[in-house]
């Protein structure tokens, strides 16, 4: 994952925008993902996250899940990728809807990609609680026998060095302690590139999503069962 001041500036702006379009509070919310075809025999992947996974501002066919499905197909991996992203979700909200999401699928997923934590950070919630919630999500997936991978988030600089020291290591630490996969910063290669972003300057446009999916596809493919 690339480091540097520009990345922190972009993350800070993204967090401010996400806060503006996030529902208030942490009341549990659930959203049943589109039903995958029960007869489909290839790998089943669930993209479980917030607005970046949900495809904020894009047509359904342009979101991360369908883009990743296409990117995997170009690598010869015939997988179904289900969009289980909810804009504004905190890790607590994600934990609250995890069982509902899983139970709405026709069969056990081969991989759940967890992309949560940005909304915890932008609200200044305790990194310890973020860690606890993500750990609980990963533990529940493991209990159900579902492989998982995390995408990384970083703390905005205005929250201070102490917050960043507590927040930033969460994803790598959990990947090491739980055996989950670890993917880099979701917006790597897209952040700060206006031609790859929506007019808000923060969320990826269709081109940006396609590039993100193409970048992540090899790692995702490596985490899926071989034919």
The model's pLDDT over 11-69, given as tens digits with 9 standing for 90+, comes to 555 554 454 444 444 444 444 445 545 667 899 999 999 999 999 999 999 999 999 99
Is 90 exceeded by the pLDDT of residue 8?
Answer: no
Q: Does residue 134 belong to any structural domain of this protein? A: yes
Which one of the listed residues 22, 89, 120, 203 is annotated catalytic? 203
Kindly state the average pLDDT of the residues 83-105.
95
Please tell me the distance from the alpha carbon of residue 49 to that of residue 95, in angstroms, as a whole number. 11
Q: Does residue 53 belong to any structural domain of this protein? A: yes
Examine the residue annotation and report whether 89 is marked as an active-site residue of this protein: no
Read off the CATH number of the domain in which 159 is found.
3.40.50.1110
Q: Name the burial class of residue 140, with classes exposed (0-12), middle (13-18) and buried (19+) by CB atoms within 10 angstroms of its CB.
A: middle
Q: Does residue 102 belong to any structural domain of this protein? A: yes
C-beta of residue 188 within 8 angstroms of C-beta of residue 215: yes
Mean pLDDT of the chain: 86
> Total structural domains in the chain?
1
Examine the residue annotation and report whether 200 is marked as an active-site residue of this protein: yes
Examine the residue annotation and report whether 120 is marked as an active-site residue of this protein: no
Residues 14-28: pLDDT tens digits? 554 454 444 444 444
Q: Does residue 13 belong to any structural domain of this protein? A: yes
Banded model confidence at residue 90, pLDDT cuts 50, 70, 90: very high
Q: What is the pLDDT of residue 69?
A: 97
The percent of the chain in helix, strand and coil, each rounded to the nearest 5, is 50, 10, 40
Q: Does residue 26 belong to any structural domain of this protein? A: no
Q: Which two tokens stand for residue 17?
A: 């925008």
Banded model confidence at residue 152, pLDDT cuts 50, 70, 90: very high
Please tell me the distance from the alpha carbon of residue 204 to that of residue 18, in angstroms, as a whole number. 13
C-beta of residue 203 within 8 angstroms of C-beta of residue 60: no
Q: Does residue 27 belong to any structural domain of this protein? A: no
Please tell me the distance from the alpha carbon of residue 88 to that of residue 103, in angstroms, as a whole number. 22
Q: Which residues form the domain of 123?
A: 5-21+43-222
Which one of the listed residues 50, 51, 87, 120 is annotated catalytic? 51
Q: Does residue 30 belong to any structural domain of this protein? A: no
Is 70 exceeded by the pLDDT of residue 71?
Answer: yes
Q: Does residue 141 belong to any structural domain of this protein? A: yes
Is 80 exceeded by the pLDDT of residue 81?
Answer: yes
């Amino acid at each position: 994952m690339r480091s540097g001041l520009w990345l922190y500036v972009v993350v800070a702006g993204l967090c401010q925008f996400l806060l503006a379009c996030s529902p208030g509070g942490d009341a549990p919310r659930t959203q049943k993902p589109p039903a995958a075809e029960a007869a489909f025999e290839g790998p089943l992947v669930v993209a479980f996250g917030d607005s970046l996974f949900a495809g904020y501002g894009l047509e359904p066919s342009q979101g991360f899940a369908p883009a990743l499905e296409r990117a995997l197909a170009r690598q010869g991996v015939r997988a179904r990728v289900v969009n289980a992203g909810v804009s504004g979700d905190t890790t607590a909200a994600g934990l609250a809807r995890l069982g509902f999401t899983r139970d709405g699928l026709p069969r056990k997923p081969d991989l759940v990609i967890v992309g949560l934590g940005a909304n915890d950070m932008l609200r200044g919630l305790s990194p310890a609680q973020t860690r606890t919630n993500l750990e609980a999500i990963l533990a529940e997936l493991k209990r159900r026998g579902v492989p998982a991978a995390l995408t990384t988030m970083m703390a905005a600089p205005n929250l201070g060095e102490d917050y960043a020291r507590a927040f930033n290591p969460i994803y790598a630490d959990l990947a090491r302690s739980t055996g989950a996969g670890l993917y880099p910063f979701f917006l790597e290669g897209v952040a700060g590139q206006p031609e790859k972003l929506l007019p808000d300057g923060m969320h990826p446009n269709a081109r940006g999503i396609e590039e993100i999916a193409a970048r992540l596809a090899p790692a995702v493919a490596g985490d899926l069962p071989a034919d």
